[in-house]
């Protein structure tokens, strides 16, 4: 289980812009990874819009924000364009990164169990360590809370 103070699991994933992102190449800056279940659903859209709205403030605080879901690169591109999102979206179709971060979990709805992404966010410091973790995220106000944690790292 990924937890505060531990080294963040490295990964390389394709982004919605066709360029891959390797976490270890981002050392020296703060990275925000937010895992979400599915493109273009109500909660996921709200979360992506909230992070997009605060993107300039994250950048000013020295942080890059990435959304990660099992959706395809094509799905991410369509989602980003439809909602004018500025955060980069990474495709984890094989669910390897979600598994490494402990967010690919058994869920249940209406008595049916299935595997899915538990909405979670991780802040990774400039040294590649997990600085903050949120699991089972409730979307309203979450992006602001993450921004406050990023600013606290810089203080």
Give me the catalytic one of 23, 32, 44, 143: 44
User: Is 44 one of the catalytic residues?
Assistant: yes
**Which positions ≥6 away from 151 have C-beta within 8 Å?**
61
Band of pLDDT at residue 1, cut at 50, 70 and 90: confident
pTM value > 0.75 = yes
Q: Express as a percent the part of the chain with pLDDT over 90.
A: 89
Residue 80 is predicted with a pLDDT of: 95
Any residues with CB less than 8 A from the CB of 94 and at least 6 apart, and which?
Answer: none
Residue 100 φ/ψ, nearest 5 degrees: -60, -35
Is-contact 70 99, C-beta < 8 A?
no
pLDDT tens-place string over residues 128-155: 999 999 999 999 999 999 999 999 987 6
Q: Would you state the pLDDT for residue 155?
A: 63
- Angle of helix 42-60 versus helix 142-154 axis, rounded to 10: 20
Name the burial class of residue 153, with classes exposed (0-12), middle (13-18) and buried (19+) by CB atoms within 10 angstroms of its CB: middle
Per-residue model confidence (pLDDT) at position 18: 85
């Amino acid at each position: 289980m990924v937890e505060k103070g531990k080294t963040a699991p490295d990964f390389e994933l394709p982004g919605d812009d066709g360029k891959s992102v390797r976490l270890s190449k981002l050392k020296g800056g703060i990275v925000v990874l937010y895992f979400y279940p599915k493109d273009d659903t109500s909660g996921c859209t709200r979360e992506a819009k909230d992070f997009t709205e605060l993107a300039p403030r994250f950048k000013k605080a020295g942080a890059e924000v990435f959304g990660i879901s099992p959706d395809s690169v094509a799905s991410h591109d369509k989602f980003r364009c439809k909602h004018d999102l500025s955060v980069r979206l990474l495709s984890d179709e094989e669910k390897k990164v979600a598994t490494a971060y402990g967010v690919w979990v058994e869920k249940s709805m209406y008595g049916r169990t299935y595997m899915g992404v538990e909405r979670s966010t991780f802040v990774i410091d400039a040294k590649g360590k997990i600085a903050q973790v949120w699991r089972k995220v409730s979307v309203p106000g979450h992006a602001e809370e993450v921004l406050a944690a990023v600013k606290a790292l810089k203080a």
